[in-house]
Structure 1
């Protein structure tokens, strides 16, 4: 058994000095490493107990045989003096921690509880921020990207096109005769058609290549990265055939698409010119009898 007869004042100063400017994970890590040094321990772990489950917060990850180790625990208590975890000190000899040193370590254990709470709140804030960001770029009905995000992506891609960093195509898609669907079946069914079509687009998109947007109403866009226009044409033809196939088995019957397809090109003055050209080509497909792609 090791009798930890240390100079408590020096230990306190050492802990304060090493952790004074630390917060969050840095504070927890620094405190653990200092305690490891104080006791010449083989490993220190910081664990948090939550609903009878133990979560590892930090570990010095030393590996040695379990049969030779001794475990001493410093409880981590919150502001209500509830034990929420432990500082676990693993050593090859049993420790005897004197009262004054134990009380010093408890001060830092309480601070660890505060930092655990800080980390938890920061993580929750990150999750909320990501959720809010997703909502800001997502179409509420179809869960596709919305017009606002479409404009940002177009702008970003156009800047890269001008620097010859990537190539991209833009498909402007309109569901044919959508007004008839709304007039015949009602707007609720119109929304069902939009959601089903969005699912078709998502299910047949290519990861990290196709980015799908609903601009509003029955108008959609697909931006395909590093895809030659002929390949984009073949991909869109498959989407058209899949749309007809899947809707033919529903009460809505055959649903077709009119599509304008263009390449991003730095010869354009801005990305809006590219979008407008794709839109015009889509209307040319409409005038040509619908169910067509104009490139």
Structure 2
């Protein structure tokens, strides 16, 4: 049986370029693999990116036409390894590798195309498997290499987009995070408090706001200096994070030695118990440090539909916190 390809390689390149021209990034990689599978009459196609270099021993699958192919492939002992010598590899005999056992299929030919960057370094490869022994026309080699360079550009586009997204995420963190304690900052507090206020007014959600002030903080700065004061703030922030519920409690540093905890699905009594625990833990932990006894004054308010705005809730919590200070500090007013 003649299993050679019966199509014009240049027309094939034109066809695949036209079809994939509508896509970029991950979608381009996906549709490229799908179209190569069709054009080469293949049974499995995947496109990879090198994980390590000099030599490349492992690759990450960017897209595979069979989802049973593992996300990471070890190249040792398989022909794909030799593709990373910048060579097109053709094998016309029974192809058997460990990871192919997962597919429960037998392949009789392999065609590997290097994906090279601008410095002619192999950064990935296209792997094409067939259940039939294929005789490939020589012209396909040049066509495949030309197209592989376009794939490399899309891989770079994907990597650049990931880097840009990471930068965007970091910038977003900077806009909502207090630089000293890594807690949420006052700007983000306004958004969360507003959102919770709206949620409480829409349905029967319960929520509380605890306004916390570290007692005698000026004396701490006077005795230990501002570096010591910063150390106290950071350690207290850690205590708050360790003793709040992820996803339900939002912890903020409002400025100076003032902190706030907004708790979702929480009653006034539960918030009071929670803040009592925070006070006791703070006292115990700081007693073991050079700073000695650290106490807190706390005002707690429960969100309800009687308030006209979230600012009103914050103002009341602030007043209750100052009442706690006037009552001798180291106490809670609710």
**Bin of the TM-score, shorter chain as denominator length:** over 0.9
- Matched with 1:45 is 46
| TM-score for both structures, normalised by structure 2 | 0.84
Which of these residues, 57, 69, 86, is aligned with residue 62 of structure 2? 57
Q: How does 1:1-295 map to 2 (within 5 A)?
A: 2-50=3-51, 51=53, 52=56, 53-61=58-66, 64-65=103-104, 68-164=107-203, 166-295=205-334
Native 8 Å contact 1:5 1:98 kept in 2: no
Secondary structure at the counterpart of residue 105 of structure 1:
helix
Determine helix, strand or coil for the equivalent of 1:277.
helix
Offset of 1:82 from its aligned partner? 2.4
Q: Given the superposition, is the C-alpha separation of residues 208 and 69 from structure 1 closer, same or farther in structure 2, using an over 3 Å criterion?
A: farther
Tell me how far 1:164 sits from its aligned partner: 1.6
C-alpha separation between the residues in 2 aligned to 1:186 and 1:9? 75
Contact 2:209/2:300 (8 A) holds in 1: yes
Pick closer, same or farther for the CA change 1:80–1:251 going to 2, 3 Å.
closer
SS for the counterpart of 2:110 is strand
CA offset digits 1:220-255 (Å, max 9, x no partner): 000000111111110110000001111111222111
User: Please, what is the CA RMSD of the aligned residues?
Assistant: 1.6
CA distance in 2, matches of 1:241, 1:180: 21
SS in 2 for 1:97: coil
8 A Cα contact 2:13 2:143, kept in partner: yes
The 8 Å contact of residues 170 and 278 in structure 1, kept in 2 or not, is answered as yes
Stretches of 4+ moved more than 3 A in 1?
A: 62-69
For residues 54 and 285 of structure 1, the distance between their equivalents in structure 2, rounded to whole angstroms, comes to 61
| Alpha carbons 1:31, 1:108 under 8 Å: kept | no
Q: How many pairs align?
A: 295
Q: Which runs of 5+ in 1 are unaligned?
A: none
Q: Distance in 2 between matches of 1:132 and 1:115?
A: 25
Change (3 A) 1:235 1:133: same
Q: Cα offset for 1:155? A: 1.3
2:241, 2:251 within 8 Å by CA — same for their partners in 1?
Answer: yes
The higher relative CO (CA closer than 8 Å, separation ≥ 6) is in: 1
For residues 96 and 165 of structure 1, the distance between their equivalents in structure 2, rounded to whole angstroms, comes to 70
TM-score, scaled to structure 1: 0.95
1:99 CA drift (Å): 2.4
